[in-house]
Amino acid sequence: MRKNFLLLFAACFLIVTLNSCDGTKNEPEKPTTTEQEFSEENVVLEGSCGERGDNVKYKVYANGYDLSIVVYGQGAMRSFGPSYNAPWKKLEDKDFKIVSARVEDGVTYLGSRSFSELNYLTKISLPSSLKMIEEYACSGCAIDTIVIPSGEISRSAFHGCKNLRCCILGNKVKSINFSAFGYCDKLDSIDFGPSVTNIGPSAFQWCTNLKECKIGDNVTDIESQAFDYCSGLEKIIIGAKVTNIGWAAFYACNNITNITCFAITPPKLNQSFFVNNDVLNVYVPAESVDEYKNNENWKNFNIQPISVSN
């Protein structure tokens, strides 16, 4: 058992939030903080939560009635579900409030429903060792900012996080799956890291506060309904490697008046891309203007060359 777990979540997350929500960094730096040791007498719950039993363990520390979870070890966490809740969830049935969680380096899989529906959980720290955030892992919790350094983001992993405002994806995040951030209706900032190649179906569906969407340079596929009903969207920038834009990918995004697409070859465009096709200006590489204008799926847009102002 390790006795020294050093936590000071408030300072740590303040620095991460200030550095990441402006969308200027893809790989968040580890913050330097004044650290506070939680002694063993502060532990209110501990045990194993690993896929193989004690390969991953946890401790829950109390600061008054506020609780902090630390998950540590090597390899994958186990998955939880409606019939088998994460062990720390029972603490919120009492007077305690789980307000923060830290997953330490070495943990590779964040188990399904690990932190879901924790109504007071506002801070989560994730390690660069993650390979997978499993389905519903953090859905419905109270986080307002999340930094994801690495891994695949599974189905509904952050679905319905009503307070989530800012999300930044690190240099090792590969894909965003079905409804991963669906119904996060306060989300106004998403920074796609340079390694994201796929935006899955309904990934950001009903994120009504999202104003601008800059698709990462390595994304090749924007799947069906990925951003549908994002009614606040005003501007879209599509990276040069996108080859496919799925059915209704931006359906009912009625405030968009222009998009910029850096793809030299017009991406495959499925039906119901937008509702208001007739008023959209589409800015494309100058050498591709004619190709877009002659493309069956793009010809109804107002195609113009990309300029410095775009």
209 SS3 class: coil
List, for residues 152-194, the tens digit of each pLDDT value.
999 999 999 999 999 999 999 999 999 999 999 999 989 888 8
Does 1 score more than 90 pLDDT? Answer: no
Nearest C-alpha neighbor of 190 from the set 173, 29, 254:
173
pLDDT band of 16, cuts 50, 70, 90: very low
List, for residues 230-246, the tens digit of each pLDDT value.
999 999 999 999 999 99
Task: Scan for tokens 């879901």, then name that residue.
Answer: 116
Structure tokens, 294: 């002659």
Lowest-pLDDT range of 3-7, 219-223, 259-263: 3-7
198 SS3 class: strand
Secondary structure (DSSP) of 224-254: TTTTTT-TT--EEEE-TT--EE-TTTTTT-T
Structure tokens, 285: 């590489």
List, for residues 53-86, the tens digit of each pLDDT value.
999 999 999 999 999 999 999 999 999 987 889 9
Secondary structure (DSSP) of 14-55: HHHHHHHTTS--SSPPPPP----BPPGGGEEEEEEEETTEEE
State whether the Cα torsion 303-306-308-310 is positive or negative.
Answer: positive
Lowest-pLDDT range of 88-102, 104-118, 274-288: 274-288
- What CATH number does domain 197-310 carry, 3.30.70.260, 3.80.10.10, 3.10.105.10, 3.40.50.300? 3.80.10.10
Report the distance separating Cα 11 and Cα 16, nearest Å. 9
Model pTM score: 0.87
pLDDT of 36 reads 46
Nearest C-alpha neighbor of 282 from the set 251, 226, 237, 247:
237
Report the distance separating Cα 276 and Cα 251, nearest Å. 9
By residue count, the chain amounts to 310
Q: Name the residue ranges covered by the structural domains of the chain.
A: 1-195, 197-310
Q: Which residues on adjacent β-strands are paired with residue 107?
A: 75
